[in-house]
Amino acid sequence: MRLTIAISIGFGLLALTACSKTHQPVANNAQSTSELHATSSGHSTNGEHNHGENDAGQGHERIGEHGSHTDADIDQQVSGVLHDGKHSARDSRHHGHGSHKHPVEHHAGLESTHIAIGDKVPDFDFSIDGEKFTLSDLQKSTSITEDGTLVLTFWCSFCHSCRHVEHALDVLAKQYQGQVGIIAVDSSAGETTEGVAEFAKQRELTLPIALDATGAAANIFGARVTTTTVVIDKSGVLRYRGQFGDEDHAFAHEALRAVLAGEDVPVSETRQKG
Protein backbone atom coordinates (compact mmCIF):
# COMPACT_ATOMS: atom_id res chain seq x y z
CA MET A 1 0.00 0.00 0.00
CA ARG A 2 2.81 2.36 1.00
CA LEU A 3 4.64 1.47 -2.21
CA THR A 4 1.54 2.31 -4.26
CA ILE A 5 1.17 5.72 -2.57
CA ALA A 6 4.87 6.50 -3.10
CA ILE A 7 4.65 5.63 -6.80
CA SER A 8 1.54 7.82 -7.20
CA ILE A 9 3.25 10.78 -5.53
CA GLY A 10 6.30 10.30 -7.76
CA PHE A 11 4.22 10.39 -10.95
CA GLY A 12 2.42 13.49 -9.67
CA LEU A 13 5.71 15.32 -9.16
CA LEU A 14 6.90 14.34 -12.62
CA ALA A 15 3.66 15.64 -14.12
CA LEU A 16 3.97 19.00 -12.34
CA THR A 17 7.59 19.34 -13.45
CA ALA A 18 6.67 18.55 -17.04
CA CYS A 19 3.83 21.14 -17.03
CA SER A 20 6.04 23.91 -15.68
CA LYS A 21 8.64 23.26 -18.40
CA THR A 22 5.98 23.19 -21.09
CA HIS A 23 4.50 26.57 -20.13
CA GLN A 24 7.81 28.42 -19.85
CA PRO A 25 8.36 28.81 -23.63
CA VAL A 26 4.74 29.90 -24.04
CA ALA A 27 5.29 32.72 -21.56
CA ASN A 28 8.42 33.79 -23.47
CA ASN A 29 6.55 33.70 -26.76
CA ALA A 30 3.76 35.86 -25.35
CA GLN A 31 6.32 38.43 -24.25
CA SER A 32 7.95 38.44 -27.68
CA THR A 33 4.59 38.96 -29.37
CA SER A 34 3.88 41.88 -27.07
CA GLU A 35 7.25 43.39 -27.91
CA LEU A 36 6.59 42.95 -31.61
CA HIS A 37 3.25 44.76 -31.28
CA ALA A 38 4.95 47.57 -29.41
CA THR A 39 7.73 47.80 -31.99
CA SER A 40 5.34 47.76 -34.93
CA SER A 41 2.83 50.19 -33.40
CA GLY A 42 2.09 52.73 -36.10
CA HIS A 43 4.29 50.87 -38.61
CA SER A 44 2.97 48.42 -41.17
CA THR A 45 4.86 45.20 -41.84
CA ASN A 46 4.12 45.87 -45.49
CA GLY A 47 7.27 47.50 -46.86
CA GLU A 48 5.48 49.84 -49.24
CA HIS A 49 3.06 51.18 -46.66
CA ASN A 50 5.81 51.63 -44.09
CA HIS A 51 7.86 53.54 -46.63
CA GLY A 52 4.98 55.93 -47.17
CA GLU A 53 4.56 56.52 -43.45
CA ASN A 54 8.27 57.20 -43.00
CA ASP A 55 8.26 59.67 -45.85
CA ALA A 56 5.28 61.43 -44.34
CA GLY A 57 6.99 61.73 -40.99
CA GLN A 58 10.22 62.98 -42.53
CA GLY A 59 8.27 65.50 -44.54
CA HIS A 60 6.80 67.05 -41.42
CA GLU A 61 10.13 67.01 -39.58
CA ARG A 62 11.90 68.90 -42.35
CA ILE A 63 9.19 71.49 -42.77
CA GLY A 64 10.35 75.09 -42.73
CA GLU A 65 13.80 74.37 -44.15
CA HIS A 66 12.92 76.13 -47.38
CA GLY A 67 15.48 75.77 -50.13
CA SER A 68 17.31 72.87 -48.44
CA HIS A 69 15.56 70.15 -50.45
CA THR A 70 15.62 69.15 -54.06
CA ASP A 71 12.43 68.90 -56.09
CA ALA A 72 12.78 65.11 -55.92
CA ASP A 73 12.88 65.31 -52.12
CA ILE A 74 9.65 67.31 -52.06
CA ASP A 75 7.99 64.95 -54.56
CA GLN A 76 8.97 61.99 -52.39
CA GLN A 77 7.57 63.66 -49.27
CA VAL A 78 4.33 64.60 -51.00
CA SER A 79 3.92 61.13 -52.52
CA GLY A 80 4.58 59.55 -49.14
CA VAL A 81 1.96 61.68 -47.44
CA LEU A 82 -0.52 60.99 -50.24
CA HIS A 83 0.08 57.26 -49.86
CA ASP A 84 -0.36 57.42 -46.09
CA GLY A 85 -3.40 59.69 -46.36
CA LYS A 86 -5.12 57.46 -48.89
CA HIS A 87 -4.96 54.44 -46.62
CA SER A 88 -5.73 56.21 -43.35
CA ALA A 89 -8.76 57.94 -44.87
CA ARG A 90 -10.30 54.57 -45.70
CA ASP A 91 -10.54 53.85 -41.98
CA SER A 92 -11.75 57.30 -40.98
CA ARG A 93 -15.28 57.32 -39.62
CA HIS A 94 -15.73 61.04 -39.14
CA HIS A 95 -15.89 64.12 -41.36
CA GLY A 96 -16.65 62.21 -44.53
CA HIS A 97 -19.39 61.04 -46.81
CA GLY A 98 -19.82 57.44 -47.87
CA SER A 99 -18.48 58.40 -51.27
CA HIS A 100 -14.93 59.64 -51.78
CA LYS A 101 -16.03 62.15 -54.40
CA HIS A 102 -17.52 65.43 -53.23
CA PRO A 103 -18.84 67.92 -55.80
CA VAL A 104 -17.79 71.55 -55.46
CA GLU A 105 -20.78 73.79 -54.77
CA HIS A 106 -22.06 75.82 -57.72
CA HIS A 107 -24.13 78.63 -56.26
CA ALA A 108 -27.43 79.78 -57.72
CA GLY A 109 -27.32 82.90 -59.85
CA LEU A 110 -23.84 82.28 -61.24
CA GLU A 111 -23.44 81.62 -64.94
CA SER A 112 -20.90 79.02 -65.97
CA THR A 113 -17.99 81.09 -67.24
CA HIS A 114 -14.99 78.93 -66.45
CA ILE A 115 -11.74 79.83 -68.14
CA ALA A 116 -9.37 77.72 -70.23
CA ILE A 117 -5.69 76.95 -69.78
CA GLY A 118 -3.72 79.99 -70.94
CA ASP A 119 -6.46 82.47 -70.00
CA LYS A 120 -5.94 85.35 -67.62
CA VAL A 121 -7.68 84.61 -64.32
CA PRO A 122 -10.30 87.26 -63.48
CA ASP A 123 -10.38 88.77 -60.01
CA PHE A 124 -12.73 87.35 -57.37
CA ASP A 125 -13.45 87.79 -53.67
CA PHE A 126 -12.94 85.37 -50.79
CA SER A 127 -12.02 85.46 -47.10
CA ILE A 128 -9.21 84.02 -45.00
CA ASP A 129 -9.70 83.88 -41.22
CA GLY A 130 -12.67 86.19 -41.59
CA GLU A 131 -10.73 88.87 -43.48
CA LYS A 132 -11.83 89.69 -47.03
CA PHE A 133 -9.37 89.56 -49.92
CA THR A 134 -9.34 89.50 -53.69
CA LEU A 135 -7.17 87.30 -55.85
CA SER A 136 -5.16 90.34 -56.90
CA ASP A 137 -4.58 91.17 -53.21
CA LEU A 138 -2.91 87.81 -52.74
CA GLN A 139 -0.83 88.15 -55.89
CA LYS A 140 0.52 91.47 -54.63
CA SER A 141 1.22 90.25 -51.10
CA THR A 142 4.96 89.63 -50.80
CA SER A 143 4.42 87.78 -47.53
CA ILE A 144 2.39 85.20 -49.46
CA THR A 145 4.18 85.00 -52.81
CA GLU A 146 7.38 86.49 -54.20
CA ASP A 147 6.11 87.11 -57.72
CA GLY A 148 2.36 86.39 -57.70
CA THR A 149 2.52 82.65 -58.36
CA LEU A 150 -0.33 80.77 -56.66
CA VAL A 151 -1.50 77.19 -56.19
CA LEU A 152 -5.16 76.76 -55.19
CA THR A 153 -6.69 73.42 -54.20
CA PHE A 154 -10.44 73.09 -53.73
CA TRP A 155 -11.11 71.52 -50.34
CA CYS A 156 -13.75 71.10 -47.66
CA SER A 157 -13.93 69.68 -44.16
CA PHE A 158 -16.32 66.84 -44.89
CA CYS A 159 -15.10 64.79 -47.85
CA HIS A 160 -12.85 61.73 -47.88
CA SER A 161 -10.87 62.79 -50.94
CA CYS A 162 -9.65 65.91 -49.12
CA ARG A 163 -8.31 63.75 -46.31
CA HIS A 164 -6.15 62.00 -48.94
CA VAL A 165 -4.32 65.16 -50.02
CA GLU A 166 -4.59 67.85 -47.34
CA HIS A 167 -1.39 66.94 -45.49
CA ALA A 168 0.54 66.59 -48.75
CA LEU A 169 -0.74 70.04 -49.71
CA ASP A 170 0.34 71.32 -46.31
CA VAL A 171 3.84 69.89 -46.81
CA LEU A 172 4.10 71.61 -50.19
CA ALA A 173 2.87 74.90 -48.71
CA LYS A 174 5.53 74.82 -46.02
CA GLN A 175 8.30 73.98 -48.46
CA TYR A 176 7.38 76.98 -50.64
CA GLN A 177 6.37 79.31 -47.82
CA GLY A 178 7.11 82.92 -48.74
CA GLN A 179 7.88 82.00 -52.35
CA VAL A 180 4.55 80.66 -53.64
CA GLY A 181 1.07 81.15 -52.21
CA ILE A 182 -0.36 77.66 -51.70
CA ILE A 183 -3.92 77.86 -50.41
CA ALA A 184 -6.89 75.55 -49.84
CA VAL A 185 -10.16 76.99 -51.18
CA ASP A 186 -13.46 75.96 -49.58
CA SER A 187 -16.45 76.61 -51.86
CA SER A 188 -18.87 74.41 -49.93
CA ALA A 189 -22.07 75.99 -48.63
CA GLY A 190 -22.52 75.93 -44.88
CA GLU A 191 -18.84 76.10 -43.95
CA THR A 192 -17.90 78.82 -41.45
CA THR A 193 -14.65 80.55 -40.55
CA GLU A 194 -14.79 79.18 -37.02
CA GLY A 195 -15.69 75.65 -38.07
CA VAL A 196 -12.95 75.49 -40.68
CA ALA A 197 -10.37 76.91 -38.25
CA GLU A 198 -11.28 74.32 -35.62
CA PHE A 199 -11.13 71.49 -38.15
CA ALA A 200 -7.75 72.68 -39.46
CA LYS A 201 -6.43 72.76 -35.90
CA GLN A 202 -7.61 69.20 -35.28
CA ARG A 203 -5.98 68.05 -38.51
CA GLU A 204 -2.79 70.06 -37.77
CA LEU A 205 -3.05 71.99 -41.02
CA THR A 206 -1.18 75.28 -41.16
CA LEU A 207 -1.69 76.45 -44.74
CA PRO A 208 -4.18 79.29 -45.39
CA ILE A 209 -7.77 78.17 -46.05
CA ALA A 210 -9.92 80.58 -48.06
CA LEU A 211 -13.72 80.56 -47.95
CA ASP A 212 -15.26 81.04 -51.39
CA ALA A 213 -18.71 81.93 -50.03
CA THR A 214 -20.21 82.93 -53.39
CA GLY A 215 -18.73 80.04 -55.36
CA ALA A 216 -17.02 82.49 -57.71
CA ALA A 217 -13.66 80.73 -57.64
CA ALA A 218 -15.16 77.31 -58.33
CA ASN A 219 -17.15 78.78 -61.22
CA ILE A 220 -14.19 80.60 -62.77
CA PHE A 221 -11.94 77.55 -62.72
CA GLY A 222 -14.69 75.07 -63.61
CA ALA A 223 -13.88 73.06 -60.50
CA ARG A 224 -16.41 70.23 -60.26
CA VAL A 225 -15.00 68.17 -57.40
CA THR A 226 -12.87 68.78 -54.34
CA THR A 227 -9.06 68.38 -54.57
CA THR A 228 -9.14 69.97 -58.04
CA THR A 229 -5.98 72.08 -58.12
CA VAL A 230 -5.01 75.08 -60.24
CA VAL A 231 -1.63 76.74 -60.76
CA ILE A 232 -1.55 80.45 -61.63
CA ASP A 233 1.69 82.03 -62.85
CA LYS A 234 3.14 85.42 -61.93
CA SER A 235 1.25 87.06 -64.81
CA GLY A 236 -2.08 85.78 -63.49
CA VAL A 237 -2.46 83.17 -66.23
CA LEU A 238 -3.97 79.73 -65.57
CA ARG A 239 -1.22 77.20 -66.31
CA TYR A 240 -2.54 73.97 -64.78
CA ARG A 241 -5.90 72.51 -63.74
CA GLY A 242 -6.76 69.01 -62.51
CA GLN A 243 -5.64 66.50 -59.91
CA PHE A 244 -3.27 67.55 -57.14
CA GLY A 245 -1.40 64.31 -57.61
CA ASP A 246 -1.38 60.63 -56.78
CA GLU A 247 1.08 58.05 -55.50
CA ASP A 248 2.91 58.03 -58.84
CA HIS A 249 2.53 61.56 -60.22
CA ALA A 250 3.05 64.97 -58.63
CA PHE A 251 0.98 66.83 -61.22
CA ALA A 252 0.59 70.11 -59.35
CA HIS A 253 4.19 70.21 -58.18
CA GLU A 254 5.50 69.43 -61.65
CA ALA A 255 3.39 72.25 -63.04
CA LEU A 256 4.60 74.61 -60.32
CA ARG A 257 8.24 73.77 -61.00
CA ALA A 258 7.79 74.49 -64.70
CA VAL A 259 6.05 77.80 -63.98
CA LEU A 260 8.80 78.94 -61.60
CA ALA A 261 11.44 77.96 -64.16
CA GLY A 262 9.65 79.87 -66.92
CA GLU A 263 9.05 76.68 -68.89
CA ASP A 264 6.04 75.05 -70.53
CA VAL A 265 4.00 72.91 -68.15
CA PRO A 266 4.49 69.25 -69.20
CA VAL A 267 0.90 68.25 -68.37
CA SER A 268 -1.32 71.33 -68.25
CA GLU A 269 -4.64 69.61 -67.54
CA THR A 270 -5.71 66.30 -66.02
CA ARG A 271 -9.12 64.78 -65.44
CA GLN A 272 -10.67 66.15 -62.27
CA LYS A 273 -10.92 63.34 -59.76
CA GLY A 274 -12.36 63.79 -56.28
Domain 47-260 sits in which CATH superfamily?
Answer: Glutaredoxin (3.40.30.10)
Q: Could you tell me which of 131, 133, 144, 243 has the C-alpha nearest to residue 197? A: 131
State residue 90's pLDDT score.
Answer: 45
188-226 pLDDT, tens digit each: 988 999 999 999 999 999 999 999 999 999 999 999 999
Q: How far is CA 240 from CA 2, 72, 169, 216, 232, in A?
A: 97, 20, 16, 18, 7
Report whether pLDDT(187) > 50: yes
Domain locations in the chain as residue ranges: 1-41, 47-260
Report whether pLDDT(243) > 70: yes
Q: Alpha-carbon distance 215 to 15, whole Å?
A: 80
101-154 pLDDT, tens digit each: 556 654 444 455 799 999 999 999 999 999 999 999 999 999 999 999 999 999
Of 252 and 10, the one with more pLDDT: 252
For the ranges 5-9, 39-43, 106-110, 202-206, the one whose mean pLDDT is highest: 202-206
Q: Is 250 exposed, middle or buried (0-12, 13-18, 19+ CB in 10 A)?
A: buried
- Per-residue pLDDT band for 247 (boundaries 50, 70, 90) equals confident
